[in-house]
Structure 1
Amino acid sequence: MKKSLFSIGIAVLSLTALAQQHSEQNHSKYIAPSDPQVKTKLAQWQNVKFGLLMHWGTYSQWGIVESWSLCPEDEGWCERRGPYKDNWYEYKKAYERLQYTFNPTQFAPEKWATAAKNAGMKYVVFTTKHHDGFCMFDSKYTDYKITKSPFSTNPRSNVAKEVFGAFRNEGFMVGAYFSKPDWHTDDYWWSYFPPKDRNPSYHPKKYPQKWESFKKFTYNQIEELMSDYGKVDILWLDGGWVRPFSTIDTTISWQKTIPFDQDIDMAKIAKRGRELQPGLLVVDRTVSGEFENYVTPEHQIPDSYMPIPWETCMTMGDSWSYVPKENYKSARKLIHILADIVSKNGNLLLNIAPSPEGDFDAEAYQRLEEIGKWIKINGEAIYETRGDNVVGKQGKFVFTHKGDNVTYAIYCADEKESFPLSFDLEKINLTKTSKISLLGFPDNLKWVQKDGKITVQVPQKLAQKVPGSYAWTIKITK
């Protein structure tokens, strides 16, 4: 992942982001899986709705963007900070020496898993390796890894295994984030040629043996993760420029810059992954086709309902990686984002970045606690639901459905707003036996239906009992 649009906020999308969003709302390229076990797993994933993503690595020590400061491109998210920032070669050496000071002694993944579970999260995706090539797992194919750091003396030094185990013990689906490009291995950024950008520093067709060596390296590391780390539900692959040249979408500006074929044989990787992990979801991000089991718009929410499986990945703050004094989104905003995404048939994968010491910021825990309090009352409108492709957004209401007979109308309230005494809903057909209630309260509400509109009345006494909230949920049973 790259640095998000932190400088201008996600409300203003760049032209690139707009093109990407347009592409991800084009459902024609999506290929539904045919493997029955994958289909079952995908349906399970679509039911859990809310997950935790964690970007964590040596870069957290400098409080900088994950990996991207190594990339010699003139992009805002590639800006170098810290020692030797004016000399790329010396900077890369200093960056890679962070391995020898990385010692997250506060690492306690059970604490993360408990907080995430209490917040209502039900799946986790952890960065086993980002573009810089530093492995947060004990890969035998490199020495650039957490188990060759000062933390190696800790009995929990194989961080990815510990994270997966802690979350699995809390009933989470487990996902392994893995970067396809690797800027540390000589098989990608070959030291014979200095890198010019994010792509290999050599032409793969001109040096096929070098590229074959990289393909084998990638295959072997993914095979490790699928073999030695317990049950894995999702292989979440990043670095979408590593792809067959034939898959490039020239309507998307960043894909037009990919200079050559970077085929790593995803069919072979997926086949082996599913031999080791039956039903494995493979998410080859932005590479449309059979190995992108669900799409992942980054920091974007589609304009409307999408009938295919999808997930917005988004930061709780402004950055994917740890930065001091992070600007966290409010609990109200995060709950509204979750409701909006689920109403459009998607999942929310929310990123929190651990500190170099190995813990979340206290404010991040506070946000999780606040979300959890809301979920305890309103969770039935989120989990095991599907989005709405008929009713659409109505004012402050967004809608989800459970089967054919239950609709949830989630009212996304402004700050200090009181529960309304009356409200109208459209495009919902009820019968005389239909019931409308407010989640958290047993009494049914009075309603009338006229000219295609439902008017719901809320008694003053009930309205006075309803506590202030980020969002209220109306349950409609037909």
Structure 2
Amino acid sequence: MKKIVVTLGLLLTLYTLHAQTNAQLDPKILTSKKIMDQFMGLRFGMFIHWGPVALRGTEIGWSRHREVPASDYDTLYKAFNPTKFNAEEWVKTARDAGMKYLTITAKHHDGFCLWPSAYTDYDIMSTPYKKDVVGQLAKACKKYGIRFCIYYSVLDWHHPQYPVDNPYDTTAKGKRPDAHMDQYVQYMKNQLKELITHYDPYMLWFDGPWEAPWTKEMALDMYAYLKSVKKDVIINNRLGKQFAGTGSSAAVFLGDYDTPEQRIGELNMDILWETCMTICEQWAWKPNDQMKSLQTCIQTLAKTAAANGNLLFNVGPMPDGTIEPAQVTRLHEMGQWLKKYGAAIYNTQAGPYLPAKNYAATRKDKKIFIHIFENPGPTFTLPALPGVNVSKVSFLNGPSLPFKQNATAINITLPAVLPDLNDTVIVLETDTPTMRIPLLKKDQQ
């Protein structure tokens, strides 16, 4: 009974701190603790940035008015015909990578919609393809047990009622003087209700609230509205004005979790967060884009979990609707690693060791998982955990390892060659539920 009380007490404390970031809202409408605990336990998801811009191989949204003239960008949909798109193949790629959820850019900053919307003709049904991409993905995710999520940009540089046309031109030429933001906000509500009603997303991933037309009051109203449509839909913090990865600070933001971008967030046991990062360099497809090594991919996932965050890992499919074979292979390789070491990632929490240069730690129940990123030599030394006895050390799903512990250190004997050069996981079994163990401080490590 004591174990249960302490664990629940800790979790309630964490959630209370999380909820305080939404003090502007009625706490009754915030996403439930049960749903957020489930979400954070997933640890690994697929982000997909895709649309007609793939025909140019430039960045989605951001290349409009820059690499691609708006007159060209805004008509790309007329040639967008991804005949090789297969929703089940995308979802199976995510599943085989060990990913537990999938987030598709239903509408990016460019305003193009990947579903047949009743509120605009700038959508997938106006293309030669004429099939519901969002709907096909939602159906495939349900079939393969992947949680389906939707990205929706607050910005819409294409919509006639959104005041900004060109974010790179701060003069009057970059604005729409006759735009009506109130009408655009209603358009957003209509589309978001449409998306929730038709596709029942697990999570809504917003982006783009930095522009002046979108206000804090609009964000508060929108959060409350979305909760009236679906109570426990998860909503990231980019609906509100403070969006760009608060890290270890206790900054106030609107939403259910924080979203550091293209970097691993700092260890934080109080604020829930998810790193979004690209498998290559560009979010949307780019010819000959530089892909991350397998070691970098695996260690990014492990370091994210060891800092108590989720990883939303992005791919940009090609114009024909397929994901580049090299990216599929890399994701499959990550999945093979997770088949062996997934217990050290899923449903774990960070600590009690702080992330270090050559290793990081996750924990669950009475086990501490040590992710070794560099071969330390014949002896791997960890600081002792005050008041904690280690009863066994072993490779995860492998043999036991000799070790000695004293008041200051745990010395583990390792073989000359580690089982996995990308990330070898060893397990410390303790006599204490590991979530009772305080995080070590920097001077202890």
Opposite residue 121 of structure 1, the aligned amino acid is M
Q: Quickly say closer, same or farther: Cα 1:468–1:342, change in 2 above 3 A.
A: closer
Q: Quickly say closer, same or farther: Cα 1:313–1:395, change in 2 above 3 A.
A: closer
Q: TM-score, normalised by structure 1?
A: 0.77
Contact 1:39/1:279 (8 A) holds in 2: no
Please give the alpha-carbon distance, in whole angstroms, between the structure 1 residues aligned to 2:225 and 2:88.
Answer: 30
Per-residue deviation, residues 252-288 of structure 1 (Å, max 9, x unmatched): xxxxxx4x66357334433342333331111141634
Please give the alpha-carbon distance, in whole angstroms, between the structure 1 residues aligned to 2:355 and 2:205.
Answer: 31
Cα distance, 1:36 vs structure 2 = 7.3
Tell me what 2:192 maps to: 222
Does 1:92 find its partner at 2:70? yes
**Aligned partner (choices 270, 276, 289) of residue 307 of structure 1:** 270
Per-residue deviation, residues 361-392 of structure 1 (Å, max 9, x unmatched): 0110111111111101110010001112x421
**Aligned partner (choices 358, 363, 370) of residue 409 of structure 1:** 370
SS in 1 for 2:305: helix
Q: Quickly say closer, same or farther: Cα 1:397–1:214, change in 2 above 3 A.
A: same
Tell me what 1:236 maps to: 205
Please give the alpha-carbon distance, in whole angstroms, between the structure 2 residues aligned to 1:80 and 1:29.
Answer: 42
Q: Quickly say closer, same or farther: Cα 1:36–1:127, change in 2 above 3 A.
A: closer
Please give the alpha-carbon distance, in whole angstroms, between the structure 1 residues aligned to 2:152 and 2:169.
Answer: 23
**Aligned partner (choices 95, 98, 105) of residue 117 of structure 1:** 95
Does 1:48 find its partner at 2:27? no
Cα distance, 1:195 vs structure 2 = 8.5
Worse-matched range after superposition: 116-125 or 466-475: 466-475
Please give the alpha-carbon distance, in whole angstroms, between the structure 1 residues aligned to 2:429 and 2:60.
Answer: 47
Tell me what 1:470 maps to: 422
- Unaligned ranges ≥5, structure 2: 1-16, 243-251, 431-445
Cα distance, 1:451 vs structure 2 = 3.4
Please give the alpha-carbon distance, in whole angstroms, between the structure 1 residues aligned to 2:221 and 2:266.
Answer: 35
Please give the alpha-carbon distance, in whole angstroms, between the structure 1 residues aligned to 2:34 and 2:386.
Answer: 32
Cα distance, 1:28 vs structure 2 = 11
Contact 1:106/1:359 (8 A) holds in 2: yes
Per-residue deviation, residues 107-153 of structure 1 (Å, max 9, x unmatched): 0011111111111110111100011110011111100011111001x
**Aligned partner (choices 305, 320, 330) of residue 293 of structure 2:** 330
Does 1:397 find its partner at 2:359? yes
Please give the alpha-carbon distance, in whole angstroms, between the structure 2 residues aligned to 1:220 and 1:212.
Answer: 12
Worse-matched range after superposition: 444-453 or 359-368: 444-453
SS in 2 for 1:470: coil
Please give the alpha-carbon distance, in whole angstroms, between the structure 2 residues aligned to 1:34 and 1:336.
Answer: 38
Q: Quickly say closer, same or farther: Cα 1:327–1:309, change in 2 above 3 A.
A: same
Please give the alpha-carbon distance, in whole angstroms, between the structure 1 residues aligned to 2:117 and 2:231.
Answer: 22
Cα distance, 1:48 vs structure 2 = 0.4
Please give the alpha-carbon distance, in whole angstroms, between the structure 2 residues aligned to 1:311 and 1:198.
Answer: 35
Cα distance, 1:444 vs structure 2 = 2.3
Opposite residue 278 of structure 1, the aligned amino acid is K
Please give the alpha-carbon distance, in whole angstroms, between the structure 1 residues aligned to 2:411 and 2:89.
Answer: 45
Does 1:30 find its partner at 2:21? yes
Please give the alpha-carbon distance, in whole angstroms, between the structure 1 residues aligned to 2:217 and 2:144.
Answer: 34
Tell me what 2:12 maps to: none
Opposite residue 401 of structure 1, the aligned amino acid is R
Opposite residue 241 of structure 2, the aligned amino acid is V
Aligned length: 400
Please give the alpha-carbon distance, in whole angstroms, between the structure 1 residues aligned to 2:305 and 2:72.
Answer: 43
Contact 1:47/1:385 (8 A) holds in 2: yes
Please give the alpha-carbon distance, in whole angstroms, between the structure 2 residues aligned to 1:184 and 1:287.
Answer: 21
* Aligned 1:21-420 pairs, distance under 5 A: 30-31=21-22, 35=29, 38-71=32-65, 79-81=66-68, 91-152=69-130, 157-189=131-163, 196-197=169-170, 201-202=175-176, 210-229=180-199, 231-242=200-211, 258=212, 262=215, 265-285=218-238, 287-288=241-242, 289=252, 291-388=254-351, 390-403=352-365, 405-413=366-374, 420=377
**Aligned partner (choices 457, 462, 467) of residue 413 of structure 2:** 457
Contact 2:237/2:259 (8 A) holds in 1: no
Tell me what 1:84 maps to: none
SS in 2 for 1:46: helix
SS in 2 for 1:107: coil
Cα distance, 1:290 vs structure 2 = 6.2
Please give the alpha-carbon distance, in whole angstroms, between the structure 1 residues aligned to 2:63 and 2:389.
Answer: 63
Please give the alpha-carbon distance, in whole angstroms, between the structure 1 residues aligned to 2:19 and 2:323.
Answer: 40
Worse-matched range after superposition: 33-42 or 175-184: 33-42
Does 1:434 find its partner at 2:408? no
Cα distance, 1:194 vs structure 2 = 11
Tell me what 1:12 maps to: none
Please give the alpha-carbon distance, in whole angstroms, between the structure 2 residues aligned to 1:467 and 1:474.
Answer: 10
Cα distance, 1:436 vs structure 2 = 1.2
Contact 1:108/1:359 (8 A) holds in 2: yes
Opposite residue 214 of structure 1, the aligned amino acid is Y
Contact 1:38/1:280 (8 A) holds in 2: no
Identical positions, percent: 29
Cα distance, 1:39 vs structure 2 = 1.9
Opposite residue 330 of structure 2, the aligned amino acid is R
Q: Quickly say closer, same or farther: Cα 1:297–1:36, change in 2 above 3 A.
A: closer
Contact 2:157/2:164 (8 A) holds in 1: no
Tell me what 1:86 maps to: none
Please give the alpha-carbon distance, in whole angstroms, between the structure 2 residues aligned to 1:162 and 1:142.
Answer: 20
Contact 1:305/1:343 (8 A) holds in 2: no
Please give the alpha-carbon distance, in whole angstroms, between the structure 2 residues aligned to 1:298 and 1:280.
Answer: 22
